[in-house]
Amino acid sequence: MFNLIISIIAIALVVVLAGASLYYGGDAFNKGSEEAKASTYINQAQQLQASATLFKASNGGLPSDASATKNVQSLIDGKYLAGQPKVATGTGAWGLDSTNGVILVEQDVTDSAKTGMTLNICDTINDNGAGVVFCSASKADVASTIDTVANAPLDMDDTTAATAAKAVKKITVFMKL
């Protein structure tokens, strides 16, 4: 009888501890996932930038197709890149805009890092992008942000900007070549 009571108490304690860890640790688990996805975007942009630099050095310029995704395909065909990087969230494909000298991918904004790009992932890219990889509210911001790189448009740490960012429907991750 004593063993049965001790077993029931032990099971109850395990259930309480599991519930507490999910309740209090849930944000930590989600934050880690968002940081990992932001790192994936940063690494992919840097890989594309390196392959574009090799292409430019070998061919005297960047691929010049009007389609940004076809320019990435030119890097793959030329063996400068193993394959099209798969975006960490949502759908879309990386592109190389040779006119503006930018590598970019456009993503829809969602509330969950499991289903797509969140504003927190975008903010983490801006924080950890080392001043070379940025996340912007729209493609229109890309050209202006290229020239004023220090002023990345989305900063979720700034409460005013965070409130304004809630209306954003599309996000562009980009890196200047």
Phi, psi of 96 (to 5 degrees): -125, 105
Range of the domain at 115: 27-176
Lowest mean pLDDT among 2-6, 23-27, 45-49, 171-175: 23-27
Q: What pLDDT is stored for residue 28 in this prediction?
A: 65
Give the long-range contacts of residues 111-116, CB within 8 A, separation 24 or more: 113/30, 113/33, 113/34, 113/37, 113/89, 114/33, 115/89, 115/90, 116/89, 116/90
Is the residue at 85 inside a domain? yes
Is the residue at 4 inside a domain? no
Lowest mean pLDDT among 30-34, 103-107, 164-168: 164-168
Q: How confident is the model at residue 44 (pLDDT cuts 50, 70, 90)?
A: very high
Is the residue at 16 inside a domain? no
* Total domains, the chain: 1
Is the residue at 1 inside a domain? no
Is the residue at 128 inside a domain? yes
Write down the pTM of the prediction. Answer: 0.74
Is the residue at 12 inside a domain? no
pLDDT at 169 over 80: no
Structure tokens at 32: 């880690």
How far, in Å, CA of 113 to CA of 35, rounded?
10
* Highest mean pLDDT, choosing among 1-5, 10-14, 134-138, 159-163: 10-14
Report the run of H or E that residue 136 belongs to, with start and end: strand 133-136
Is the residue at 164 inside a domain? yes
